[in-house]
Amino acid sequence: MTVHFPFQNSYSALPDSFFARVAPTPVAAPRLIKLNRPLAVQLGLDPDVLETPEGAEILAGKTVPAGADPIAMAYAGHQFGQFVPQLGDGRAVLLGEVIDKDGIRRDIQLKGSGPTPFSRRGDGRAALGPVLREYIVSEAMFALGIPTTRSLAAVVTGEHVIRETALPGAVLTRVASSHIRVGTFQFFAVRRDTDAIRRLADHVIARHYPELLGAERPYHALLSGVVARQADLVARWLLVGFIHGVMNTDNSSISGETIDYGPCAFMDSYNPAQVFSSIDEMGRYAYANQPRIALWNLTRLAECLLPLFSDDQEKAVAEAQDILGAFSETFSDAYQAGLRKKVGLFTERDGDDALIQDLLDAMAKNQADFTLTFRKLGDAAGDPAADDARAQFMDPGAFDEWARRWRERTALEPQTAAERQATMHAVNPMFIPRNHRVEAVIQAAVNNDDYTPFEELVKVLAKPFEDQPDYAAYADPPLPEQRVLQTFCGT
Ligand code: AMP
Ligand code: MG
């Protein structure tokens, strides 16, 4: 049996300035930790063959499969607001692209596969902990219905990587509709290479926005399209309590997928100012700041596209501002509509936004668990005696007062209690990748080579909207001593 990847590469056919050709660096003793079998099938790969030692060697970058054209992509980026003209894939290699079962082109990338010309001082490697974290959280996001890169496989390399201590090394196989970022455009903009910007924009339109191919002003339409997808994406993040943690322009995908799961985390108790990342000292990427930052990143993209808009700089800027102006409304429409669904409103009336904001304010004041409050509110919609939602509040009276208004409002709609509960449960997950669970999984794997907790967590998170009574404990917030206060990039 040989592993067959039906590669059809397009990015590596772009001009040489877009990437560096570089093969993954072989590792000592690859061992497959996890293969995402359904995703393998979706990509047209044979999961049984990928699970053989030969498959593991490919997924570890020890052998390069036929048809691959390995490259490290060039990009620049603003990191915490600071522009870096050259970043690029410093520890990842794009093996190639396949067309999946739905006809969508997907990148297959090895992350942690060794140094590239873009590694700067880094070793090109990834530690096992961050690899498991990305696997868990990206697949959880997928199950939550949020656009995201995905994880096809995790392998340990049999080598150590040196961080603060020596840690087991690992490689993640990441799948994305592409790895083109805002920073990819910035790479060419800072070099004043307008031909390359046009080339990249054309590639992006054909690949991610084919509906714009015949547009009268395709580059304006492209910016508009990216603005719409990013606005929608960030709204979805907020609606599940997700904090990306490192929304640099190089971690901001043009296709509108969540990308780069470094210090990301889901909040437990609701706090709009929540930050977990150890390196985000100023709270730039705090939960409630994410829409503002997405717009800031999109403004950087717009700057790159200006030369394609018009030779008249002033005109180009005005047009860009006009397009960026749509962000706020697109975001708040998506966010408010999502919130209405979360509290079980089928219609829109005056006063709804205030009703919902009052709930959020009470949750913040009472340190209510974000996920459980909404999930249990669904139970309360089904059965007025269900009181798990009020139990999330330090002062349950604050909930009672709000719930009275909520019941008056929902009574104006014809839906039955059961219908309302079912609709709410379909958008309010029971299970999210809680930090303390992710940490426990990583500890078991790194310290004891025990992947049972990892397997179980991945399994539970694949069905976030189902009650799964056997795994009820996975819905619990951390005990005070289990609380994770900080997350780390782990690079
Ligand atoms: P990140 O913080 O993962 O988004 O990475 C930011 C930049 O640093 C990217 O250009 C990465 O490729 C690079 N980088 C991160 N970790 C490493 C590493 N261990 N070795 C080389 N480059 C790295
Ligand atoms: Mg990155």
Contact 63, 53 (CB under 8 A): no
- CA 327 to chain centroid: 19
Percent of the chain with pLDDT over 90: 97
Residue 491 has pLDDT above 80, yes or no: no
Candidate from 83, 246, 491 with most ligand 1 atoms within 8 A of CB, to mutate: 491
| Tokens read off for 184 | 């990819």
- CA 469 to chain centroid: 27
- Mean pLDDT across 285-301: 98
pLDDT: is 3 or 319 the higher one? 319
Segment 86-135, tens digit of pLDDT: 999 999 999 999 999 999 999 999 999 999 999 999 999 999 999 999 99
Residue 88: the pLDDT is: 98
Domains in the chain: boundaries: 11-179, 183-336
- Mean pLDDT across 347-353: 97
Segment 397-424, tens digit of pLDDT: 999 999 999 999 999 999 999 999 999 9
pLDDT band for position 245 (50/70/90)? very high
Q: Which of 116, 119, 98, 99 is nearest to 108 (CA)?
A: 98
Residue 272 φ/ψ, nearest 5 degrees: -60, -25
Residue nearest atom 10 in ligand 1 by C-alpha distance: 87
What is the number of residues in the chain? 491
**Which residues sit with their C-beta closer than 6 Å to ligand 1?**
87-91, 118-119, 122-125, 246, 250-251, 260, 262, 489, 491
pLDDT band for position 490 (50/70/90)? low
Residue 32 has pLDDT above 70, yes or no: yes
Catalytic residue IDs:
250
Q: Which one of the ligands is nearest to 76 CA?
A: 1
- Ligand 2 centre to CA of 5 (Å) is 26
Candidate from 73, 79, 91, 258 with most ligand 1 atoms within 8 A of CB, to mutate: 91
pTM of the model: 0.98
Residue 208: the pLDDT is: 98
Percent of the chain with pLDDT over 70: 99
Distance CA 376, CA 419 (A): 15
- Mean pLDDT across 195-217: 98
Residue 344 has pLDDT above 80, yes or no: yes
- CA 295 to chain centroid: 17
- Ligand 2 centre to CA of 75 (Å) is 10
- Ligand 2 centre to CA of 171 (Å) is 15
Residue nearest atom 14 in ligand 1 by C-alpha distance: 90
Residue 255 has pLDDT above 70, yes or no: yes
- Mean pLDDT across 9-35: 98
